Amino acid sequence: MLPDGSVVWLNSASRLTYPINFEGDTREVQLVGEAYFEVVKDSLHPMIVSTGKNFYVEVLGTKFNLKAYSDDQVSQATLYSGEIKVHTANKETNESKELLLKPMETILIGDKNLATLVSDLEEEKEINAEWKDGILTFNNTPLKEVIKSVQRWHGTQFTVKDSSILNYRITASFNSESAVQIMDMIRYISPVDYKANGNQITLSRR
């Protein structure tokens, strides 16, 4: 819980930095990774969520999910209720942009430019925050991104022998499965094979 009573859930390999008490005109926090926010409404003191990337999120009072891992080229914010403003900046051109999100909208922010995409796919909204309940869900997700998520959740190290398999798309949902159990399922539904040695998993094509 934050000093103002707002509640934040952190995903694996994530960190939130904030002061002991909020002072001044804004409530500033810094996120690395992914978090689900339930922010107490205070129109006089908006919350500013910095990401260390080319954008930040301005919040009055709302529920939203923000994914901004430092090693991801695309970050994502999904709004469930209330209102948020996403401020983006292009360091090369000094161009800035402000986007207002409505409930049940998702915005994707690329690291290299201001290109953004707003989606209104209801199913995707549900998936975006399922991690909060201990569920790892993928919907037509490239194996490359699946590996990142499994690595963050379980601390598993992956070696890929055939990079072509990284583009294979996975649709599946996992709850309390181990990294090896997840790979068993992926092997069953795809042409991907694996060998596990302790905390190391080597992937190849079958």
Instruction: For residue 57, list its beta bridge partners.
Output: 49, 86
Q: Where do the structural domains in the chain lie, given as residue ranges?
A: 7-129, 134-205
Domain 7-129 identical in fold to domain 134-205: no
Distance CA 177, CA 138 (A): 14
Q: What is the pLDDT of residues 124-177, one digit of tens each?
A: 555 566 788 888 888 888 999 899 989 888 888 999 998 888 989 999 888 878
> Are 103 and 81 in contact, with CB atoms under 8 Å apart?
yes
Q: Under 8 Å CB-to-CB from 132, ≥6 apart: which residues?
A: 9, 11, 36, 65
Token pair of 126 as six digits:
């549900």
Amino acid at residue number 130 = E
CATH fold of 134-205 reads Phage tail protein beta-alpha-beta fold (3.55.50)
Residues 98-116 as b or e (16 or more Cβ within 10 Å = b): ebebeeebbbebbeeebee
What does pTM read for this prediction?
0.80
Q: What is the pLDDT of residues 9-49, one digit of tens each?
A: 999 889 999 999 998 899 999 999 999 999 999 889 999 99
The predicted structure's pLDDT at residue 104: 84
CATH number, span 7-129:
2.60.120.1440
Q: What is the pLDDT of residues 58-112, one digit of tens each?
A: 998 899 999 999 888 888 899 989 989 998 876 666 677 888 888 888 888 887 7
